[in-house]
Structure 1
Amino acid sequence: MPILLFLIDTSASMNQRTDLGTSYLDIAKGAVELFLKLRARDPASRGDRYMLVTYDEPPYCIKAGWKENHATFMNELKNLQASGLTTLGQALRSSFDLLNLNRLISGIDNYGQGRNPFFLEPSILITITDGNKLTSTASVQEELHLPLNSPLPGSELTKEPFRWDQRLFALVLRLPGVASTEPEQLGSVPSDESAITQMCEVTGGRSYCVRTQRMLNQCLESLVQKVQSGVVINFEKTGPDPLPVGEDTLMELCRPSNLFAAQPWHSCHKLIYVRPNSKTGVPVGHWPIPESFWPEQNLPSLPPRTSHPVVRFSCVDCEPMVIDKLPFDKYELEPSPLTQYILERKSPHTCWQVFVTSSSKYNELGYPFGYLKASTTLTCVNLFVMPYNYPVLLPLLDDLFKVHKLKPNLKWRQAFDSYLKTLPPYYLIPLKKALRMMGAPNLISDNLDCGLSYSVISYLKKLSQQVVLVKSNKPKSFALRSAFPYSLV
């Protein structure tokens, strides 16, 4: 169920008028209404949840949150007034805190236990602003700063205020107050040069510099297409570049007309699409992306994680590995310089292994947990997520079924035990589940240890209880505002 949060600039400068006499705030309201109409064309929109936040001081900035229905959303939108300051940083922080309110209760972030792409709450945050100077009661600010301290329990577990399934897009209104005599330029809408652009790009989104009504409509059409189920990942190359696969390919890559020639393919910050199951409508998966640390029993607290995992890929051509009945997860990558480069190599029968640095106890790069591979039709690139250190596990399982007929000898058991020692503890439960599906339920003991210390487990439970307590209070009560500065519920 996608969440669509509209953050509307209600600073006094939104009262400025275009050449048609319409205020920027009225244009913003109309843009939201048009977006809803465009989005309604998609049958999947029936599951959408809409939220409305403004630049007012918290908690009054939350106009429609988790409990308000669509009628309340529309009524609050209609009644918006522009009279405050351009407190963008605080408004963004309030918006992300609102989106993150339920995550500790649902366990969706799975802190310390690997990142599951199939546990997600895809959210699009669309802010509509005039891009004027950022202001506060104290001063005018040149740079965008989000408050570091959040009232949300557990916010210290992630370095950034956003999560990997939340992307920020900005419509920056630059419509003139006097009718232009210049002919309107056609083509794609450029990014804006205001402070919010960098913040958008960090989340995996972008800004739009809107100079005409036609451009605004074009942007809204584009944004509707951005409502995708997926998570953002940093893909980084490790090791040397690959060898050229042939003269023709090399010449093609060197052509100036190549669409992505000027962009580095070795570092991409892009979405992987997490498709819902066709029968249940909910994404299904089996394996996590590993954490960037090894969980120890004596670890007193969890290290804060980055919102977007850094997945390193090695350009050494490998054979794709799969065996019968062992589940794997497959995610399509959003088009990028990396996908273009892989597709232009025209090697659909080889793959590049992927790693998370420091995920292993025994080496810095970690062991491979999957691979990147072009589709056989060379139309897209997919990330295959496998069991951790799968190049060791898969031959062992192949021997277990084909050679030992599910009756392994001592040598096989020793090799399997050695493999398990390379496995982060949080992989034991999904591996045991997969082995049960394959017909080998007793290879791993039932007494599984998640690898987290008692103090960490207790702390995570305590955080969840704190959020439940916050949500159980009436949102407009004085007690809630005293204990929790943002009325997020």
Structure 2
Amino acid sequence: MIIVFLIDVCSSKTVNGYSLLDLAKLFIRSFLHQVNNGKNNHSVKYILATSDRPRYCIKTEYHDPIYTFLEQLELLSPTDASRIGTGFASVFEFLSLRRMIRHMDSFYRGRYVEHNETTGIFWFTDGCNLDFLNSCLEYQPDDGITSSSMFYQEKYRWDQKLFTFFLSSQTYTAPAALHELNANMRGQLYSLQTSDDILKVIGNILGTDKDFYEHAKEIYPYNIFSTCGVHLNFVEANANYDPKSNNCLEQIYVDPLKFEGFYPIPENFWIESEAIRLQMDISSLIRRKSIPTIAYWKHKEFYKSHELPSNFPRDTYVVSECDMTRELKCQKPGTKWPVYIHSSSRNSGYGEPFGYLVANKKNEWDLEVSLVILPYNFPSLFKLLHQAKQYVEPPPSWKESMEIYRKNLPWYYLQPLAKVFMAYKLDKIVPSGFFTKPKTEGIDAIIYQAVQQAHAKYEQMKNDIMKNRYSITRPTPYPEKCIEGNAQAERALSNIRKITMLAQLPNEADPSHSVNTVIMGNYEEVMAKRDKHKLRDPHEEN
């Protein structure tokens, strides 16, 4: 897991001994202390960032030791309000480039749920200059085509969670723009004023405090480290389909130790095999949404006619609690709702199902809803496999139906099905090479070029982080003081005159002492010259 601390605090006003920037630093130090004392300390990577000049926003990256992180944290000063928003852009780009060079995005090949690295973005803001939020999540035409924007419409990714911390000394009411931002990224919004608020919120995030923080929006009762996964947008299938609607933006939980699933989630566009074989133009690429929209159909009788073959591989993921899951739990046991990706098939519309939602027993008392991912158009495939068991040698009609199924299958399902058929000894019922994937030289060349560009940009950003750290502590200069040379010289001369006059003053006689300090120490000589009558015999009576 990666945790990014992004600090955009402009106000330097101090309340109860703390400035708002001090509160943000206190939160981060307390969070690190609790995490590093727990069992997750070795699996968490930290990034520190703020809004600054271009190439100066990221202060530390995940390879830096913790003492370097804390050192840079203490050096942060209030953010220049005119630069608010540059930190978000730098963080999104840095994380996107990391995904590119690690080949976590399978472009034009569907989306594999396991190809993710859950990232928490902790954003601290005092609500100053939030106009940038109108365009901070989506790529703009002025940004140009980069390796990050070549395949996506938004800057964020489906494995990134946003935690917004609104810092104020006067109110707990957060600006409306922050609510909208968190709705788009399924984030959590907290309003903080005191150090006690900080400890309460950290307890909620880490799962150590079960009493929910009252000044919070969207509370999820799970430890952040136990909620690894990706976000999906679930909408009910109907005639009035709107791909921009966030009907039910939820998370599915993924085992971080699981390397790869069997099947991908389909793309929301059809890809001709000839198009990816020939040379492709970057401008012709179809950019996907960061969070896929999955349509579900409330089909009450679906489970009766579409049974899975025994031991057939499937990918199963638990869906977070929401209105959709609660409704499904109330249905008849075994009810399955098929799921679709709009425009994923050769024909327009919802296409064919690639899985279903089902409620299963979590324990003796509770139910949980799971998303089961299967081959594209699995009802037709399972029907053909069931028919194949009835024949010693499948007839031509069966082979023709199987060929029709293959032709209407998105090309990126061919290789996964070939592996499944071979592993479960089903390859004998289909001709050799039946699921051979087409040539992909065209799309492969573009992806290779994008990865090389991403690698160069990523290394440049890492070098900037190191260079800026050791060349100058704070790249944003402080305001220079106005120094008048004549006034400074006059004050210096005045001090010199004063010292000279004091040195020329004569030494005054001290009437309280009979022995001059100049000859002090010649005790016997002085005492011999004294008149004896001036000295009293201590043995004489008064």
Q: Shorter-chain TM-score: what band?
A: 0.7 to 0.9
Instruction: Find the counterpart in structure 2 of residue 466 from structure 1.
Output: 453
Q: What SS is found at the alignment partner of 2:30?
A: helix
Q: What SS is found at the alignment partner of 1:368?
A: coil
Question: Once superposed, what is the RMSD of the aligned Cα atoms?
Answer: 2.9
Asked whether 1:315 is paired with 2:298, we answer: yes
How many residues matched? 428
- Aligned ranges 1:159-178 → 2 under 5 Å: 159-176=153-170
Q: What SS is found at the alignment partner of 1:395?
A: helix
Contact 2:118 2:229 in 1 (8 A): yes
- Which of 92, 96, 99 lines up with 2:92 in the alignment? 96
- Alpha-carbon distance in structure 2 between the residues aligned to 1:42 and 1:312: 39
> Cα 1:473–1:455, aligned 2, differ >3 Å: closer, same or farther?
same
- Alpha-carbon distance in structure 2 between the residues aligned to 1:293 and 1:216: 45
- Alpha-carbon distance in structure 1 between the residues aligned to 2:439 and 2:27: 47
> Cα 1:95–1:109, aligned 2, differ >3 Å: closer, same or farther?
same
- Which of 337, 356, 368 lines up with 1:371 in the alignment? 356
> Cα 1:76–1:314, aligned 2, differ >3 Å: closer, same or farther?
same
Q: What SS is found at the alignment partner of 2:426?
A: coil
Q: What SS is found at the alignment partner of 2:230?
A: strand
Asked whether 1:39 is paired with 2:38, we answer: no
> Cα 1:39–1:474, aligned 2, differ >3 Å: closer, same or farther?
closer
> Cα 1:119–1:399, aligned 2, differ >3 Å: closer, same or farther?
same
Asked whether 1:391 is paired with 2:379, we answer: yes
Instruction: Find the counterpart in structure 2 of residue 409 from structure 1.
Output: 395
Task: Provide, for residues 102-133 of structure 1, a one-character-per-residue CA deviation record: whole Å limited to 9, x for no partner.
Answer: 22222211111001111111111011111123
Task: Provide, for residues 213-267 of structure 1, a one-character-per-residue CA deviation record: whole Å limited to 9, x for no partner.
Answer: 3333222223332342111111000139xxxxxxxxxxxxxxxxxxxxxxxx992
Larger deviation, residues 304-313 vs 84-93: 84-93
Q: What SS is found at the alignment partner of 2:326?
A: helix
> Cα 1:468–1:192, aligned 2, differ >3 Å: closer, same or farther?
same
Q: Can you give the 5+ residue segments of structure 1 that lack an aligned partner in the other structure?
A: 135-140, 178-189, 241-264, 482-489
Asked whether 1:273 is paired with 2:261, we answer: no
Q: What is the deviation of 1:31? A: 0.4
Q: What SS is found at the alignment partner of 2:346?
A: coil
Instruction: Find the counterpart in structure 2 of residue 145 from structure 1.
Output: 135
Instruction: Find the counterpart in structure 1 of residue 319 from structure 2.
Output: 333
Instruction: Find the counterpart in structure 1 of residue 270 from structure 2.
Output: 294
- Alpha-carbon distance in structure 1 between the residues aligned to 2:132 and 2:270: 40
Larger radius of gyration between Structure 1 and Structure 2 = 2
- Aligned ranges 1:404-483 → 2 under 5 Å: 404=391, 407-441=393-427, 443=430, 445-446=432-433, 454-472=441-459, 475-476=462-463
- Alpha-carbon distance in structure 2 between the residues aligned to 1:84 and 1:266: 34
- Which of 181, 184, 187 lines up with 1:205 in the alignment? 187
Contact 2:182 2:188 in 1 (8 A): yes
Q: What SS is found at the alignment partner of 1:382?
A: strand
Contact 1:118 1:283 in 2 (8 A): yes
> Cα 1:151–1:58, aligned 2, differ >3 Å: closer, same or farther?
farther
Q: What is the deviation of 1:453? A: 5.8
- Alpha-carbon distance in structure 1 between the residues aligned to 2:89 and 2:53: 11
Instruction: Find the counterpart in structure 2 of residue 257 from structure 1.
Output: none
Contact 2:94 2:461 in 1 (8 A): no
> Cα 1:79–1:452, aligned 2, differ >3 Å: closer, same or farther?
farther
Instruction: Find the counterpart in structure 1 of residue 110 from structure 2.
Output: 114
Instruction: Find the counterpart in structure 1 of residue 524 from structure 2.
Output: none
Instruction: Find the counterpart in structure 2 of residue 226 from structure 1.
Output: 224
Query: Which protein has greater RCO, CA pairs closer than 8 Å, 6+ apart?
Result: 1
Instruction: Find the counterpart in structure 1 of residue 332 from structure 2.
Output: 347
Contact 2:295 2:341 in 1 (8 A): yes
Letter in 1 for 2:224: K
> Cα 1:389–1:193, aligned 2, differ >3 Å: closer, same or farther?
same
Q: What is the deviation of 1:143? A: 5.5
Contact 2:337 2:358 in 1 (8 A): yes
- Alpha-carbon distance in structure 1 between the residues aligned to 2:35 and 2:408: 47
- Alpha-carbon distance in structure 2 between the residues aligned to 1:103 and 1:294: 24
> Cα 1:472–1:168, aligned 2, differ >3 Å: closer, same or farther?
closer
> Cα 1:474–1:175, aligned 2, differ >3 Å: closer, same or farther?
closer
> Cα 1:237–1:51, aligned 2, differ >3 Å: closer, same or farther?
same
- Which of 46, 49, 52 lines up with 1:53 in the alignment? 49
- Which of 150, 156, 181 lines up with 2:150 in the alignment? 156
Task: Provide, for residues 82-110 of structure 1, a one-character-per-residue CA deviation record: whole Å limited to 9, x for no partner.
Answer: 25226332211111111111222222111
Q: What is the deviation of 1:477? A: 6.4
Contact 2:110 2:265 in 1 (8 A): yes
Q: What SS is found at the alignment partner of 1:387?
A: coil
Contact 2:205 2:224 in 1 (8 A): yes
Q: What is the deviation of 1:289? A: 0.5
Letter in 1 for 2:288: R
Q: Can you give the 5+ residue segments of structure 2 that lack an aligned partner in the other structure?
A: 207-222, 240-244, 469-542
**Identity across matched positions, percent:** 28
- Alpha-carbon distance in structure 1 between the residues aligned to 2:90 and 2:195: 29
Task: Provide, for residues 305-340 of structure 1, a one-character-per-residue CA deviation record: whole Å limited to 9, x for no partner.
Answer: 011101000111211632123210111111111111
Structure whose residues are more often helix by fraction: 2
- Which of 269, 282, 296 lines up with 2:258 in the alignment? 282
Letter in 2 for 1:274: V
Task: Provide, for residues 171-203 of structure 1, a one-character-per-residue CA deviation record: whole Å limited to 9, x for no partner.
Answer: 1012349xxxxxxxxxxxx87325333222211
Instruction: Find the counterpart in structure 2 of residue 238 from structure 1.
Output: 237
TM (normalized to structure 2)? 0.73
- Alpha-carbon distance in structure 1 between the residues aligned to 2:346 and 2:96: 31
